[in-house]
A and B are shown apart, each in its own frame.
Chain A
């Protein structure tokens, strides 16, 4: 992408806008405004399917209208003769593709892959596609495709009588002590079931792609959280070398976990493009985004807490279930927060998955931690009332001083500080403990608290840094920016290391031709990439200074200095003696066009195969409990709700959250991400629910008017407080995860506030009015 320089009416004070006065905005930790912002606010930012290509044709998907059974026949005659139609794809004429390796790196079975189904396992499955000269023609012709089915009974969801108990996932079993016996012996016991429905990522940019073959080389413009992973998938599907596939994704209109993989519709578009020998655009429609890939699986949990009379936990017994698809396996790790949030001598967590007729569920912001926190953070609140102590106090009484599961010290855990800072800013001490004891006219007021956490996922990364002849710096990586601020924090990192202004750094992302990058998921990208850019930029700076000292044509050659400093794009001796020249002048004097350095955090003895595996699968990701520490980010949410006592409508009127993401590379952007997570959590708590038509096993609210996400009018002002400290065990520059943390714990904080307001404990999300009246 190009960073557009635009004049603003007001000086936006790029310098001096620092969070603590000590950090200039240009450097790591500064509050630099997004460098890709000007492109986004002027309409200049080109998202993937907005590329204008000569000869572009348009594909539209035809989806199954039954949830289980077989396609008996597909009548394509009317569609084929419709105006402008150039191809109708069905399993009968589809190219034979290979099955691709999964994201874990598991070698695929040697069976062909067809993205168009004959055996139907969920409603909304792709069964055919129509390609036409224009989008309108393709839409019209797709409606003419007639599909006949032999329908069989479907298992519509977890509550279906046919669903059964599911499959135990042994890898999820996690036990220490004797949890059952300790629970039975505990003086205070609570046990309850907590449910979350199907939820959807619903990024504002729907999925889609433009696929274009030139010989056996494929270019795909597609919004992507993982260019190298998706390039591998396309390459394997079509049996071409990895290097022959180029993924381009300069801007991503939101992902939230949904844009990390190549899905069936991508195979359809690339196949059509190959067959037609012309570029094909396939824009997934908004309704199709509910079934073209999976959202968060519906979950069920039972949490049993045994405690002593003072509320000290003696035992946690946790059982979880999530749905998965008929032929796919998705495990939403429901015990992930349960096992680490509180100290307990006895613990047991087990999980089953249940196959139902749905698209394979996938990742949605904090998969696992999010529903897990809803269970344990609701349960601890129930225990607080059972024992008769403050919900904040019970959390402190059970504070885990080390990781209870890994039995290792935390790298950093500023959760106690988060409770203190959040409580102070919120005014928690003024809370009246009894439910229904605070009101404002007809509104019942409730104050609730809950904690959240997310593991620090780490990986190896690489980046290319160039110091160019004009003195500017260029950073290249095939990582991406979907709004987290990658362009900006990498510019800050390179600017700080090399010693130039951030405005003189151009960051290029979102093209798989650049230095490789693993998945942007699990809140890992910022830590991985700032580390890689820091390393590359340091190497580039070292070479620059080395040249300045030793090159016979350098103005510094006679100085015989040991080192030089670079600041504001100018080079000088640290003691101020001798000449001072710009980077551009130095490069000119020594006759260099540019300095180029690749930074790579892979172990030194890594082979080419290791690298390929590292960037195209998650097989080499580092455990958050590897080595001596357990690494997590932490937060505490304090929420005020107002519930209409007659109608049961719930409004969130105030949120204060204190969060520990370690060091923030750019507080301005991190705060935005935290707030975004909190807002998504408000939607999850009060609005979001995929509703299944039980007759047809179909999601009926597959659009943005019926699948409710929070609107501006649903959201109050939100205060976020950073309580993190640099964590050297988590990343090169001391940061921990930001993007997913904010949502974890929001839904239980709201449920707890609703209980405080009304005396009603809602254990099924979302908390809708019929559950309160």
Chain B
């Protein structure tokens, strides 16, 4: 392959700068999984229908399968691998997912968690019905939905209380 078919891009992922050369048609999802070895972000449909590939770009939840890697140039990308603190301390959403058993096979889980973090920061975790609605873009075939709602509810309270403490 000639170099003309590839473009250099710089991705800022979980606070680390990555430089890679990829074809322009490479999605952010495939760049993460196949080019950078960050396989925590999952490919469930590659069509923007299941939510398994949910990541944050500049703090907003996006579907990595519908985003070209080049579109993320210069923007801050957060994935499941970057959610826990450097010392391994889990994010409140991760801890709540474990405690509430909000997953079984685990394949939709990174996307669910990234969506849940955004759902809380967007202010859409005010009631169980609101959580259900704003988490409805992330499919779970194992059927962990009631436990996902419980986990988001629990994490939202913890995030709120830790923000209160911080202020």
Contact = CB atoms under 8 A, between A and B. Distances in A.
A5 B118 CA distance: 26
B95 A9 contact: yes
Given A41-B98, A253-B42, A134 B23 contact: yes
Interface string A18-54: 0000000000000001101111111111110010100
A16 interface: no
B142 interface: yes
A714 B140 CA distance: 12
Contact of B49 (A254, A669, A704, A716): A704
9 contacts: A83-B1, A201-B141, A253-B44, A675-B146, A703-B47, A704-B139, A705-B47, A712-B136, A715-B143
A203 interface: yes
Given A43-B80, A254-B105, A711-B136, A33 B143 contact: no
Interface residues of B, number: 67
Interface in B138-167: 138-149, 158
Nearest to A256: B141
B97 A41 contact: yes
A483 B81 contact: no
A669 B105 contact: no
Given A52-B37, A712-B132, A40 B109 contact: yes
A613 B147 CA distance: 40
Given A33-B98, A50-B39, A136-B26, 18 more contacts: A6-B84, A12-B95, A41-B94, A42-B40, A43-B79, A46-B39, A202-B141, A203-B105, A204-B108, A204-B142, A673-B104, A677-B143, A704-B44, A704-B50, A711-B136, A711-B137, A712-B131, A715-B143
A283 B50 contact: no
B15 interface: no
B41 A43 contact: yes
B104 A44 contact: no
A668 B132 CA distance: 22
B142 A676 contact: yes
The residue in B81, B94, B158 that gathers the most chain A C-beta atoms within 10 A of its C-beta is: B94
B107 A203 contact: yes
A483 B128 contact: no
B7 interface: no
A485 B38 CA distance: 25
A712 B148 CA distance: 8
A8 B38 CA distance: 23
A81 interface: no
Interface string A254-284: 1010000000000000000000000000010
Contact of B50 (A37, A134, A204, A483): A204
A41 B148 CA distance: 12
Interface of B: 1, 5, 23, 25-26, 30, 33-34, 37-47, 49-50, 52, 79-81, 83-84, 87-90, 92, 94-95, 97-99, 101, 103-110, 113, 128, 131-133, 135-149, 158
Nearest to A715: B145
A669 B101 contact: yes
Nearest to B44: A204
Contact of B143 (A8, A10, A136, A678): A678
A718 interface: yes
Given A7-B87, A50-B39, A43 B47 contact: no
Nearest to A705: B49
Interface string A58-90: 000000000000000000000000011000000
A491 B104 CA distance: 17
Interface in A676-732: 676-680, 703-705, 709-718
A435 B142 CA distance: 33
Given A33-B99, A703-B47, A40 B145 contact: no
Given A711-B139, A715-B132, A206 B110 contact: no
B103 to A, nearest CB: 6
A503 interface: no
A125 interface: no
Nearest to A140: B25
Given A42-B40, A84-B1, A136-B26, A483 B142 contact: yes
Nearest to A680: B143
B143 A676 contact: yes
A38 B104 CA distance: 12
Interface residues of A, number: 71
B47 A676 contact: no
A247 interface: no
A-B pairs with lowest CB-CB distance, top 7:
A43-B40, A483-B104, A253-B107, A40-B106, A679-B143, A676-B143, A483-B105
A46 B104 CA distance: 15
Contacts of B142: 204, 254, 483, 672, 676
A7 B85 CA distance: 10
Nearest to A484: B104
A206 B49 CA distance: 13
A704 B52 CA distance: 12
Contacts of B146: 675, 715-718
Contact of B90 (A33, A41, A680): A41
Given A42-B40, A43-B39, A203 B109 contact: no
Contacts of B89: 6-9
Contacts of A612: none
Contacts of A205: 42, 44, 105, 107
A528 interface: no
A136 to B, nearest CB: 5
Given A7-B90, A43-B40, A43-B81, A136 B145 contact: no
Nearest to A704: B49
A214 interface: no
A43 B103 CA distance: 13
A286 interface: yes
A256 B104 CA distance: 12
A242 interface: no
B132 A136 contact: no
A293 interface: no
A772 interface: no
Contacts of A12: 95, 98-99
B147 A283 contact: no
Given A52-B37, A483-B142, A710-B145, A45 B44 contact: no
